[in-house]
Amino acid sequence: MCGAVRFEIGEPLVSAIYCHCTRCQRRTGGAWSASALASPGSVRVLQGEQLLRSWSPEDGNPKVFCSECGSHLWAQDRDDPGRLFVRLGSFDTDPGIRPSMHQFTADAAPWEPIPDDGLPRYPERRPS
């Protein structure tokens, strides 16, 4: 948001999802989060690496954000730290991918219906 952290992704994104879990709702202040899986090693921080901070929930993936403005940048797979789930809202331009499913729909916000977009829905984590 503030531009202090800049990064690039050197390969096409692998996949993208909408997550409706309660943690994503609280982190974003919205009904869901949209993220894309980057190929391992393809994310390179160009500027502001010293501003990156992480919060690691007890039972979830570490969340990386800018310490200047609080913008959410990506989540890191706790079992494979090379796998990053980059927040689609952090891109300056079209990321070239669209979410292909909804996960954790059992936790969806009661005040915002999930759009009828024809995408598969999973009550828990997306299948591997």
Q: How confident is the model at residue 87, as a pLDDT?
A: 97
Separation CA 119–CA 54 (nearest Å): 31
Q: How confident is the model at residue 127, as a pLDDT?
A: 79
Of how many residues is the chain composed?
A: 128
How far is CA 108 from each of CA 34, 79, 104, 122, rounded to the nearest angstrom? 14, 25, 7, 11
Q: How confident is the model at residue 59, as a pLDDT?
A: 85
Please check the confidence at residue 128 and state whether its pLDDT lies above 80. no
Q: How confident is the model at residue 11, as a pLDDT?
A: 96
**Residue 55 CA to its chain's centroid (Å):** 14
Per-residue pLDDT tens for 63-110? Answer: 999 999 999 999 999 889 889 999 999 999 999 999 999 999 999 999
Q: How confident is the model at residue 60, as a pLDDT?
A: 85
| Domains annotated on the chain, with CATH | 11-107 (3.90.1590.10)
Question: Do strands 15-19 and 102-103 pair parallel, antiparallel, or not at all (unpaired)?
Answer: parallel
H-state helical runs in the chain: 22-28
Per-residue pLDDT tens for 20-74? Answer: 999 999 999 999 999 999 999 999 999 999 999 999 988 889 999 999 999 999 9
Whether 69 and 35 have beta carbons less than 8 Å apart is answered as: no
